[in-house]
C-alpha cells in the first residue's frame, strides 16, 4: 500500500485542493466587503477605527485584491503572483489589525495569519502545478 503523500493522485490533487481552500478564504472575506452593503460600511468603520486613512477606499481595494487574487489562485492563473500579493496583503492586515500582543486572542489571530502567509509563500514559489489555467513556474 502506498501512503497518500507518495501516491500519484495525492501529488496531483492535494495542491489543487489547497489552492481552492486558500482562494475560498479570500473570497469569503470579500463577501463582507461588497461595496454598497452593510458589511462594507461595517468593514470601513473597523478599518477607520484601526487608524487606516481613506478607509472606504482601502476596503474597496481590499475587496478587489481578495476577489481577483482569490480567483487567480483557485484557477491557477498567475497563481504565483496572486499568492505573493495575498501574502503581502495578509501580512499588512495582521500588522494593522492584530498588533496588540498583550491580548492572547489577538496574538492568536496574528499567528494564524502567519500560517496563511506561510502557505501563500509556498504557492508563490511552486505555483499552481496541476489543474491550472496557466502554469507559471
Residue 1 lies in a domain: no
Residue 6 lies in a domain: no
Residue 12 lies in a domain: no
Q: Which pLDDT score is estimated for 10?
A: 86
Residue 57 lies in a domain: yes
Please work out, in degrees rounded to the nearest 5, the angle formed at the alpha carbon of residue 122 by the alpha carbons of 4 and 58.
Answer: 130
Measured between alpha carbons, how far is 85 from 79 in angstroms, rounded to an integer? 10
Compute the Cα dihedral for 110, 111, 114, 119 and give only its sign. Answer: negative
Residue 5 lies in a domain: no
Q: Which pLDDT score is estimated for 4?
A: 78
Q: Which pLDDT score is estimated for 135?
A: 62
- Extract the C-alpha cell encoding 60: 474597496
Confidence of residue 1 (pLDDT cuts 50, 70, 90): low
Residue 105 lies in a domain: yes
Q: Supply the mean pLDDT for the chain.
A: 92
- What pTM did the predictor assign? 0.90
Residue 74 lies in a domain: yes
Measured between alpha carbons, how far is 71 from 30 in angstroms, rounded to an integer? 11
In contact, 87 and 124? CB cutoff 8 Å:
yes
**Structural domain containing residue 96:** 26-126
* Residue at grid coordinates 500582543: 101
In contact, 97 and 53? CB cutoff 8 Å:
no
Residue 40 lies in a domain: yes
Confidence of residue 136 (pLDDT cuts 50, 70, 90): low
DSSP string for 30-97:
HHTT-TTSHHHHHHHHHHHHTT-SSHHHHHHHHHHHHHHHHHHHHHTSSHHHHHHHHHHHHHHHHHHH
What H or E segment, with its residue span, contains residue 115? helix 104-126
Q: What is the tally of structural domains in the chain? A: 1
Q: Which residue has the higher pLDDT, 1 or 77?
A: 77
Amino acid at each position: 500500500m502506498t501512503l497518500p503523500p507518495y501516491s500519484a493522485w495525492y501529488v496531483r490533487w492535494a495542491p489543487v485542493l489547497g489552492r481552492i481552500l486558500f482562494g475560498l478564504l479570500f473570497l469569503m472575506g470579500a463577501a463582507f466587503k461588497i461595496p454598497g452593503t452593510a458589511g462594507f460600511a461595517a468593514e470601513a468603520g473597523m478599518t477607520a477605527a484601526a487608524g487606516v486613512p481613506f478607509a472606504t477606499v482601502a476596503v474597496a481595494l481590499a475587496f478587489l485584491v481578495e476577489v481577483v487574487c482569490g480567483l487567480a489562485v483557485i484557477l491557477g492563473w498567475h497563481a504565483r503572483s496572486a499568492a505573493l500579493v495575498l501574502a503581502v496583503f495578509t501580512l499588512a492586515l495582521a500588522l494593522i489589525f492584530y498588533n496588540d500582543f498583550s491580548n492572547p486572542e489577538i496574538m492568536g489571530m496574528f499567528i494564524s495569519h502567519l500560517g496563511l502567509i506561510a502557505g501563500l509563500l509556498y504557492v508563490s514559489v511552486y505555483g499552481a502545478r496541476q489543474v491550472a489555467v496557466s502554469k507559471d513556474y
